[in-house]
Amino acid sequence: NWAGSQPPLLRFLHECYTDFLPETGGAVADYIPELGKADPAHFGISLATLDGHVYEVGDTRVPFTIQSMSKPFVFALALDTLGAERVESVIGVEPSGDPFNSIRLNAENHPFNPMVNAGAIACSGLIHAAKGDGAFEYVRHALGRFAGRELGVDEAVYASESATGDRNRAIGYLLRTNGVITDNVPAVLDVYFRQCAILVTARDIAVMAATLANHGVNPLTGEQVVTPYAIARTLSVMTSSGMYDYAGEWIYRVGIPAKSGVGGGILAALPARLGLGSYSPKLDKHGNSVRGIKVCESLSAHYDLHMLNRA
């Protein structure tokens, strides 16, 4: 029996795959028209351990856009590139309790945190202030170092969001009038839309998550991608705000720092343990992948991984 000869972890991931494949709840995001073309049947689960093993089940090599899962990496990059003081002076770290695309800023007229669109656009603005026209390539290369391979861009998704992303543009102008962004707003939004259209697979996301879980050292390449300071702060905001207005439920039930994206990905990084990447395009009302949430809940329960329940 083939299943019986698999390592227990791989067998468990197979069980998750078969248990949750029939789940058809949720809807593919289509407010970015090109995302509406995703195949809702796709389902991939990958788990990377810190000793460099990568387990994969299902559609783990299907490329999809990273979307909001770019936010933690660009935040970490901003901390290291501009210095924590500069970044922390314009972006808060409180959960907003609002949906990801909320236009509301905090009492200082700053973004609540770097995991919602306003905070992520502010991060892209900081990188643009530091790197100018080279900002996007700087981001793309850095995300590639987290993944351990060069990452490309889905030009169609980029063009689709750029053509329709007026809400994010409105956030950009609001940030500029409040001094959070100092550069040309269209140039900053261009970095943000492109970074959201970076192509990854569930396997890439598992490796990127494992790099977060491993103090910033990619377990496949051995490269220190960002500083341990940036990693600890990034995991902190993922813990409090990574799942938007589901973040409280998430940390209560699952207890693993995580980030979702409207492309259908979920990234979960358990410090000193593992990185998980899942891909399934149907989303719940918060914009989180329905099957991905189930995989994370199941993984956490099965292996007793809640981070506040450690021996």
Q: Which residues are annotated as a binding site?
A: 68, 117, 161, 168, 192, 244, 262
**Is residue 164 at the binding interface for ligand GLN, with CB under 6 A as the rule?**
no
**Is residue 168 at the binding interface for ligand GLN, with CB under 6 A as the rule?**
yes
**Is residue 117 at the binding interface for ligand GLN, with CB under 6 A as the rule?**
yes
In the bound complex, which residue of the shown chain has the CB atom lying closest to ligand GLN?
A: 68
* Beta-ladder partners of 235: none
Site string for ligand GLN, 285-304 (x = CB under 6 A): --x-----------------
**Closer residue to ligand GLN (CB): 92 or 119:** 119
**Is residue 261 at the binding interface for ligand GLN, with CB under 6 A as the rule?**
yes
- In this structure, are residues 296 and 270 in contact, taking their beta carbons and an 8 Å threshold? no
What distance, in Å, lies between the first and last C-alpha atoms of the chain?
Answer: 35
Which of residues 49, 101, 227, 298 is near ligand GLN by CB under 6 A? 101
**Closer residue to ligand GLN (CB): 214 or 288:** 288
**Closer residue to ligand GLN (CB): 60 or 117:** 117
Rounded to 10 degrees, the C-alpha dihedral 37/59/204/221 comes to: -150
d(CA 277, CA 279): 7
Least Cβ distance, residue 228 to ligand GLN (angstroms) = 27
Residues that constitute the known binding site for substrate: 68, 117, 161, 168, 192, 244, 262
Which of residues 262, 266, 270, 296 is near ligand GLN by CB under 6 A? 262
**Closer residue to ligand GLN (CB): 43 or 158:** 158
**Closer residue to ligand GLN (CB): 71 or 215:** 71
**Is residue 242 at the binding interface for ligand GLN, with CB under 6 A as the rule?**
no
**Closer residue to ligand GLN (CB): 46 or 289:** 289
**Is residue 245 at the binding interface for ligand GLN, with CB under 6 A as the rule?**
no
**Is residue 160 at the binding interface for ligand GLN, with CB under 6 A as the rule?**
no
**Is residue 113 at the binding interface for ligand GLN, with CB under 6 A as the rule?**
no
Which of residues 46, 60, 68, 239 is near ligand GLN by CB under 6 A? 68
**Closer residue to ligand GLN (CB): 44 or 271:** 44
Least Cβ distance, residue 139 to ligand GLN (angstroms) = 14
- In this structure, are residues 277 and 237 in contact, taking their beta carbons and an 8 Å threshold? no
- In this structure, are residues 178 and 185 in contact, taking their beta carbons and an 8 Å threshold? no
**Is residue 100 at the binding interface for ligand GLN, with CB under 6 A as the rule?**
yes
Residues that bind ligand GLN (CB under 6 A): 67-68, 100-101, 117, 161, 168, 196, 261-262, 287
